[in-house]
Amino acid sequence: MGPVPTQHRNALGKLRQVAKIRFRKPPITAGGIIVLITRYLHSGWMIVHLCFGMWTLPCPVELRKSVPRKLREELRNAEFESWKVMPGRGRGVELYSQVPKANAWIFNKSGLSTSEWATCLKMNATLAAVRGVPGRSLDGSRCRHGCPETETLAHVQDQCNRGLLLRNARNHHVRSLIANALRKKSWIVEEEVFCLATNGSSRRIDIIAYSQTTKKGCIIDPTIRIETGSSQPEDVNQEKINIYLPTVGYFKTKYQLEDIEVIGLLIGARGVIPKFFESYRKTFELPQTLTADIITSVLKRSCQILSHHIHSV
């Protein structure tokens, strides 16, 4: 028998990793036993075997197919777990698992050009050519456009003045997508509305949607930021509540409403959709295509912001 090819050795190594994770001695709990019994009973093949005898029927094709699928899933999960705990590169990555469907652009490109798609992959892997990445620049890690900050992807996407106009355009486009979807559901919607807070200061909200029938309304503020952690959606929501709650009285009087809720909706600048966003989309009965449209829009514009930052003089 000749030497084992390198790719086979790698595959064997990976499978050993999975085996270590999967076959570690699990704690026996009542919940665990119920799950095992449920899985067993859910398998049609097992039920047929129990009824007609295990020795007479061959293993069906579906079950044979499910084994490699399960292995791939375990490998994928193991890689994700190791990515999640990486210092720096794993920051905010746990948000990717909240709505897995939102990551479909990685496989189907979702309307991105090949170059945009490649840039998005780089941003997701924190490999974009910003100066903050160690070893990327001989001129130091400060922002190339004069900001006294380290040039990280978060600085480029969320803070740098260089991308201010493009950042605003990204926000406006997402705001319009949400506002139009709400209008189709018979809400009365206004965008970019000037208002006054209780202390007399002026503010401008992104969206107010209300119904004259129920006398209820919502102030919705979609916010696009680089992903930083699993609690970020709730933190952003709280931040927006603190900003816009003092304006609720103004809108109650203006539109004769009885109840107004403030909602801050975080959307990841790298196309991540948190569970928090999806739960509100379902509450408002907005279509799934809205999520897909928002992801494509955000990814395209985040690419523009990065490209403008790196290539414009």
Q: What are the residues binding Zn ion (CB under 5 A)?
A: 143, 145, 147, 160
Q: How far is the CB of 149 from Zn ion (least distance, A)?
A: 6
3-state secondary structure of 267: strand
DSSP 96: G
Residue 272 C-beta: closest distance to Zn ion, Å: 23
Closest CB 221 distance from Zn ion, rounded Å = 24
Write out the E strands in 197-272.
202-211, 216-225, 259-268
The answer to whether 161 and 213 have CB atoms below 8 angstroms apart is no
Q: Yes or no: say if 282 and 240 are a contact pair by the CB < 8 Å rule.
A: no
Q: Which is nearer to Zn ion, 49 or 308 (CB)?
A: 308
Tell me whether residue 167 or residue 281 sits nearer to Zn ion (CB atom).
167
> Residue 22 or 142: which CB sits closer to Zn ion?
142
Q: Residue 282 CB: number of other CB atoms within 10 A?
A: 10
Provide, rounded to whole angstroms, the least separation between the CB of residue 145 and Zn ion. 5
DSSP three-state, residue 160 = coil
Query: Any residues with CB less than 8 A from the CB of 103 and at least 6 apart, and which?
Result: 96, 271
Of 146 and 287, which CB lies nearer to Zn ion in the complex structure? 146
Residues near 22 by beta carbon (within 8 Å), at least 6 away in sequence:
74
Which is nearer to Zn ion, 136 or 145 (by Cβ)? 145
CA distance 241 to 235: 10
Least distance from Zn ion to the Cβ atom of residue 204, Å: 25
Place of tokens 């959606």: 233
| C-beta of residue 71 within 8 angstroms of C-beta of residue 19 | no
Q: Measuring CA to CA, which residue among 144, 180, 210, 136 is closest to residue 297?
A: 180
CB within 8 Å of 153: residues ≥ 6 apart: 123, 126, 128, 130, 132, 226, 306
Least distance from Zn ion to the Cβ atom of residue 150, Å: 9
Select 109 or 145, whichever has its Cβ closest to Zn ion.
Answer: 145
Instruction: Closer to Zn ion by CB, 149 or 191: give it.
Output: 149
133 vs 147, beta carbon nearer Zn ion? 147
CB of 125: closest distance to Zn ion in angstroms? 22
Distance CA 274, CA 231 (A): 10
Report the run of H or E that residue 17 belongs to, with start and end. helix 6-22
Least CB distance to Zn ion at residue 167 (A): 12
